[in-house]
Structure 1
Amino acid sequence: MDKLRKTYNIEIKWRAYPLQPDVPEQGLPIARLLEEKGLLVTPEQVTANLKATAQSFGLPFGEGKMIYNSRLAQEIGLWAQACGRAHQFHDAAFKAYFVDDSNLADKTVLLDLVASAGLDGAQAKKIIDSRSYADAVDRDWEKARELELVAAPTFLMKGQRLVGAKPYPVLEKMVAEVVGEVQACL
């Protein structure tokens, strides 16, 4: 018989994470980044692994030949969260970056994402121009260093940590363990 499922009310809070913060705004070819880091993996292997992971979750994934600086997108993401539109913005940013290979450091790209997430473009332009969420991103990056985070996504719950994209049942098991409940089977 089917497993009984417990419903959990979990608040998800998006946090900024320093994803390749030294990459210039115009981006870098992934091959160059791998070479600079001395990694013995080809861009094709990286893309194939990411595509396989995305496919296992039913997510689209493009060719991913470039890596871009996501700092400004993280600032807008925190603003989107303050506006109650974090999920919409992050979904749009995911598609733009991982499917369309768009540069998330480009202000025009960000303003398009803001519009697609149902946010006010004029307000977003002010946020971008003033960099009013820069300090919030700095605080998140510092917290990431304190917690010794090494990858995104990372889920933290009451001292437990789940690193990387995982199938839903793995996250569900973590939640059940954290709240001290055991899944019952009929």
Structure 2
Amino acid sequence: MRIDQLREEFDLRLRYSVFPLHPETPEQGQSLQELFGARMDVAAMLERLRSVAAELGLPFGARTHTYNSRRAQELGKWAEARGLGEPFHGAVYRAYFAEGRNIARPEELAAIAASVGLDGAEARQVLAEGRFAAAVDADWARARSLGVNAVPTLDCGGRRLVGFQPYEAFRRLAKG
């Protein structure tokens, strides 16, 4: 991944921040056609995403639905606090984008957490108690204040890079 390449080349500290991408999505999910159909060609959008993922060496499956990511964001903050944030984020990416799993469901998230060495039962408890809800709320507020509205958005010293860009654009951002 480009972030890994940047870490090898530059002394970077990475901080994951989350933002509310379609927070109105119900737990059972919503079809991509239902969400985007009136505004864009869903098949073309998916083909572009598939192409970018292939270029980056990332898995990307035949997605048909989007799911609410709020709980995954909360559990991601917990995983970060346990020192397993990056493996957890990677596993959530694969579950969502490659396997089409519903990351709004606590049982799915507990299984994902367990797959990276976290305690699945504790993961369910963390979600039930909302232990990291305030951390996600703070990230959402920060994203709103910065005007973040797309994934990925990288911020380096107040300069931004939005969307999947060529590696050279990431290098320019890191160099300042």
Tell me how far apart the structure 2 counterparts of residues 129 and 92 of structure 1 sit (CA, whole Å): 21
Tell me how far apart the structure 2 counterparts of residues 108 and 155 of structure 1 sit (CA, whole Å): 31
In the TM superposition, 1:159-174 aligns within 5 A as 159-174=158-173
Specify the code of the residue in structure 2 equivalent to 1:66.
H
Residue in structure 1 matched with residue 83 of structure 2 by the alignment: 84
**Where do 5+ consecutive residues of structure 2 fail to align?**
1-7
Percent identity over the alignment is 37
Tell me how far apart the structure 1 counterparts of residues 168 and 122 of structure 2 sit (CA, whole Å): 39
Structure possessing the higher radius of gyration over alpha carbons: 1
Would the aligned equivalents of 1:27 and 1:67 in 2 still touch at CA under 8 Å? Answer: yes
In the TM superposition, 1:60-79 aligns within 5 A as 60-79=59-78
Would the aligned equivalents of 1:25 and 1:105 in 2 still touch at CA under 8 Å? Answer: yes
For residue 161 of structure 1, give the secondary structure of its aligned residue in structure 2.
strand
Tell me how far apart the structure 2 counterparts of residues 67 and 18 of structure 1 sit (CA, whole Å): 13
How far residue 173 of structure 1 moved from its aligned partner, in angstroms, is 2.2
What count of residue pairs does the alignment treat as equivalent?
Answer: 169
How far residue 166 of structure 1 moved from its aligned partner, in angstroms, is 2.2
Tell me how far apart the structure 1 counterparts of residues 48 and 10 of structure 2 sit (CA, whole Å): 31
**Where do 5+ consecutive residues of structure 1 fail to align?**
1-5, 179-186
Tell me how far apart the structure 2 counterparts of residues 75 and 155 of structure 1 sit (CA, whole Å): 20
Specify the code of the residue in structure 1 equivalent to 2:77.
L
In the TM superposition, 1:129-140 aligns within 5 A as 129-140=128-139
How far residue 162 of structure 1 moved from its aligned partner, in angstroms, is 0.5
- Cα deviation, 1:21-74, whole Å, max 9, x if unaligned, reads 011010000000014xx41x2221121111011111111111111000000000
Structure 1 or 2: more helix by fraction: 2
For residue 155 of structure 2, give the secondary structure of its aligned residue in structure 1.
strand
For residue 101 of structure 1, give the secondary structure of its aligned residue in structure 2.
coil
Tell me how far apart the structure 2 counterparts of residues 123 and 111 of structure 1 sit (CA, whole Å): 8
With the length of structure 1 as denominator, give the TM-score of the two structures: 0.87
Residue in structure 2 matched with residue 56 of structure 1 by the alignment: 55
Specify the code of the residue in structure 1 equivalent to 2:34.
R
RMSD between aligned alpha carbons?
1.3
Structure 1 moving runs of 4+ over 3 Å: none
Would the aligned equivalents of 1:16 and 1:78 in 2 still touch at CA under 8 Å? Answer: no
Specify the code of the residue in structure 1 equivalent to 2:55.
S
Residue in structure 1 matched with residue 19 of structure 2 by the alignment: 17
